[in-house]
Structure 1
Amino acid sequence: MFNACKSSGTADALVDRFAPLAIGMTDSIDDGDALNYAAALYSSVANGQSVNSAHLAGKAAIELSGGEHELPYLATAQGIDPTTVFLVKHPPTG
C-alpha cells in the first residue's frame, strides 16, 4: 500500500510488473484520512477479511469521519479478484 498522495499511477505500474494487488491514492489525502484508512484496512486484513472487503472498510472509515473516501484506489493485476484474496487465514477451530 502506498499511503502517499497521488500514488494511484504507481499502484497501477506495480501491478503491471510485479504485484497482484496495490493500493494508492488518486489525489492528495489528508493525514487523518490516511491514518483512518490504514487503520481500518490493516485491522480488517488481520481479522481475516478479503483485500477488497478491507479496502472498502478503509474507505468507509474515511467517509464516517467526513473525509474524501474516494481517494484510496485498489489496483489489481489481470485475472486477480480482490474479493478472493485473503492475506491472513485463521486456523480452524474445533
Structure 2
Amino acid sequence: MENNLYNHTVVRALLGLIPIVLFALIIFNNKQSGNDFLGPNFVKMILGFGSLFLWSAWIIIETIVLFFKKQTHFAYINIALMIIIGLIYTLELYLNHI
C-alpha cells in the first residue's frame, strides 16, 4: 500500500510541475513578445494553461472516484497536491508583482 501511495504521489506531483515550469518561464522572462501573436511567451502560456486545466480536471475527477471507492488516502493526497500547486501559482504571481 505504501509503495502504491508513493508512486501515486510522485507521478501526480511531477505532472503538476509541468504547468508551473511553463508559467515560471513566462513570468521570469525579461523579454516580452509584444504584438507577436505566436511569440515564445504566447506558446508557453497556451501550453501552461492547457496543461493546468488538464491536470486539474484529472485530479478532481480522480479524487471524486477515489472517495467513491473508499480509497481516502489517495484522495487526500490529491487534495493536498492541488493545494500545494495552487500555493505555488500564487507565489509565482506574487513574485512577479514585487
Given the two structures, how large is their TM-score scaled by the length of structure 1?
0.32
Structure with the larger strand share: 1
Structure 1 or 2: more helix by fraction: 2
With structure 2 as the length reference, what TM-score do the two structures score? 0.31
Larger Rg: 2
